[in-house]
Chain A
Amino acid sequence: MVSRTSWQVQKSVIYALFLREMNVRFSAGKMGYFWIIFEPLLQITIFVSVKVMLFGANSQFDFPVFITLGFIAFNLFRHTVDRSMTAFSANKGLYAYKQVKPIDALVSRVLAEILVSTIIVSIFIVVGFYFGFDMNAENLGLVILSFWWLIIFTFGIGLLVAVVGIFFDSFKKITKLILSPMMFISAIFYSMQDLPQSARELLWYNPLAHFIELIHANYFYTLDDGFVDYNYMVLWTMIPLFIALWLYRKLEKGIISK
């Protein structure tokens, strides 16, 4: 056999797993294309309607754009963590090939999630232009950078959940329980500045709220990052990632032959 470097091997494994992932998600009969657009569309419609009904249509920025951005970021996080939980077990049959490591399965799922988000963003941009929404970003570069930071943060959390979850089933259940109310406490359809002091202090502990607030702040001229704590975000990015990588290195063999 031709010998390849370990990086070449891992690259081809991740690529093969990624193609398989996309294939499964968009195979006929599952309406994959429909759901990736319909889910955020439904979320946005509901929350925009609620907002308009409760507080009227007036806003200092284009509210549908605000909420769309929030949900794209939030869904990226939630779906990735959700899919990380099953990443190791869903590809179990493929560990019969020594090249395939569990972490490759996870990386390919994260990549698939990034691609799906990119598709959604592209579609919303086209739709937004068509309907004439104000989509000017204050600093597009920083928005993209914030998204990448969110992805790294998500990857750390996802890996941690995956590694611990495969040995402790109840850990997965707890994660699911935490994930469901996250939609309401992550500054998706409101900005931190609109909240009363007491609520703000409570939401401060939610790292995801910082990320979404940051993305909003970089996008809209009228918002700033006054309520974003960068140090707190760094801690939430580094600590789970390092613990997860350390645990993974220790437990990889156990995950393969489990």
Chain B
Amino acid sequence: MIELRNVTKYFRTTKGKKYILKNSTFTIPSDHNVGILGRNGAGKSTLMRMLGKIEFPNKGEIVSDKSFSWPMGLGGGFQGNMTGRSNVKFVCRIYGKSSKEIEESIAFVKKFSELGDYFEMPIKTYSSGMKSRLTFGLSLAFDFDYLLIDETLSVGDARFRKKSKEALMKKIETCNVLLVSHDMGTLRTICDVGIVSHEAKLHYFDDINDAIKMYDDINI
């Protein structure tokens, strides 16, 4: 269960405060794969970052006893001057893996991400598709209660997209996802409940199809 208690989040801009959430109290029930929809700038990524505890509400709190992955977004989560390998090593270390487990994880991520020689090169030489391969592969090496996925499934070539979707379907047998996507097909196959983020409010739907319907409505 994820509880949002009176959460207010805004960004200060030169044109005043821009609200992402205004005094939202909200519960996301356990054991569901949640699709998050909303227009660009509605605050989907910010919500993800708040769940991943790297962005913080201005007021209120988010309470959960579940473990969350880092938000897998297009932006990164990687340090550009480190190689793919050393980034993987770093993340394994901060999650307290032993050196034997680290070796296994490196082997796994290297194989899954199919980066080849790029795995030994700095992340800043990667394309955004390659970055999301790495971050997605890396997240599969850990056991989180929730994976936070922010549109990373929709990048990469068709073959890798198919592969990661299959890997994700297998992974969600043991964990849940919070998925931001603009691809309705992906949302329908992976998620069963949905949240629409619209005008600083969250709308919850027991059925992802209802969420998609509302999203379509606000986009008319």
Contacts and interface: CB of A to CB of B under 8 A. Distances in A.
Contacts of B52: 96, 98
B137 interface: no
Given A20-B82, A23-B86, A256-B54, A96 B94 contact: no
Contact of B79 (A13, A15, A91, A98): A91
B142 interface: yes
B38 interface: no
A2 B54 contact: no
A94 interface: yes
B77 A93 contact: yes
Interface in A81-138: 91-100
Most buried by A among B67, B95, B145: B95
B213 to A, nearest CB: 33
A8 interface: yes
B77 A97 contact: yes
B107 interface: no
B56 A99 contact: no
A194 to B, nearest CB: 46
Given A16-B93, A23-B86, A96 B77 contact: yes
B91 interface: yes
A174 interface: no
Contacts of A23: 86
Interface string A1-40: 1101000110011011001100110000000000000000
Interface string A243-258: 0000000000100110
A20 B80 CA distance: 13
B16 interface: no
Interface residues on A, range: 20 to 34
A256 B70 CA distance: 14
B53 interface: yes
Main secondary structure of the interface of B (DSSP, over half): loop
A61 B18 CA distance: 67
A96 B73 CA distance: 10
Contact of A100 (B76, B94, B145): B94
Contact of A98 (B53, B90, B93): B53
Contacts of B49: 257
A12 B144 CA distance: 19
A19 B85 CA distance: 14
B194 interface: no
A248 to B, nearest CB: 15
A174 B33 CA distance: 52
A95 B54 contact: yes
A23 B89 CA distance: 12
Given A1-B67, A257-B55, A257-B56, A16 B90 contact: yes
A23 B143 CA distance: 28
Given A1-B143, A8-B96, A9-B96, A20 B70 contact: no
Interface of B: 49, 52-56, 67-68, 70-71, 76-82, 86, 89-91, 93-96, 142-145
18 contacts: A2-B96, A4-B96, A8-B96, A9-B96, A15-B93, A16-B89, A16-B90, A20-B86, A91-B79, A93-B78, A93-B79, A96-B70, A97-B54, A97-B70, A98-B54, A253-B56, A256-B56, A257-B55
